[in-house]
Amino acid sequence: KAGVTQTPRYLIKTRGQQVTLSCSPISGHRSVSWYQQTPGQGLQFLFEYFSETQRNKGNFPGRFSGRQFSNSRSEMNVSTLELGDSALYLCASSTDGGQGYGYTFGSGTRLTVV
Amino acid sequence: QKEVEQNSGPLSVPEGAIASLNCTYSDRVSQSFFWYRQYSGKSPELIMSIYSNGDKEDGRFTAQLNKASQYVSLLIRDSQPSDSATYLCAVRPGTASKLTFGTGTRLQVTL
């Protein structure tokens, strides 16, 4: 059974540019969540999608957006990149995102903004 | 007050000893609790989940939950050098579906 697949693994972008990250969940998983991980802040919740609807949103500026497609694949977009956006972006999927379910994480996309 | 708090460590234990990792949370109505292990440069992997007060054992790992004290812990028996990693506590607050993570405790198992 394939795991959570994130692409690309590494990205280097310039300030002001925009970036799109992709996540394919485990087959059958309908919930996809995105997290930003930095050494100082740990794992910060960005948003969660379930059946193409954003169900939860973290405290990030509007430059961070996402969407989920009918096949449960999800994309995350960051516009007008800032140096502080450099981080590991992790996608996690679960069967229904309900109370009793933990997440399975992908390998992450490491974004460096220069 | 942070929603989920962990001591950042490092927690250093000798090989073969018991490692005890602790986590407190602020939302009293939290129902689901998870421990993740993250090796350097890797993504977190789920190692334990617990939902009811008391202990839950899985191999060398035991998760302990005390909802009255808003406290969850992870015990690792017979610690091995391969257990050296950062351990993340995650809590599902209230009826929300998202997981909130602590900043993690770095565990070092020494030979």
Q: What is the pLDDT of residues A63-99, one digit of tens each?
A: 999 999 999 999 999 999 999 999 999 999 988 755 5
Q: Give pLDDT, residue A1.
A: 65
Mean residue pLDDT across chain A: 93
Q: Give pLDDT, residue A95.
A: 82
Q: Which of residues 82-101 of A touch B (CB under 8 A)?
A: 90, 92, 97-101
Mean pLDDT across A21-32: 94
CB contact under 8 A, A35 and B43: no
A65 by Cβ neighbours in 10 Å (0-12 / 13-18 / 19+) ranks as middle
pLDDT in tens, B29-61: 888 999 999 999 999 999 999 999 999 999 999
Of residues B6 and B30, the one with the higher pLDDT is B6
Nearest to A45 among B32, B45, B98 (CB): B98
Mean pLDDT across B60-78: 97
Nearest to A43 among B46, B88, B96 (CB): B88
Share of chain A above pLDDT 70, in %: 95
Q: Give pLDDT, residue A99.
A: 58
Residue in A5, A27, A21 with CA at minimum distance from that of residue A81: A21
CB contact under 8 A, B46 and A107: no
Of residues B22 and B30, the one with the higher pLDDT is B22
Q: Give pLDDT, residue A77.
A: 98
Contacts of A104 in chain B (CB under 8 A): 46
**Is it the case that residue A21 has pLDDT exceeding 60?**
yes
Mean residue pLDDT across chain B: 93
A50 touches chain B (CB under 8 A): yes
Query: Sorting pLDDT into bands at 50, 70 and 90, what band is A2?
Result: confident
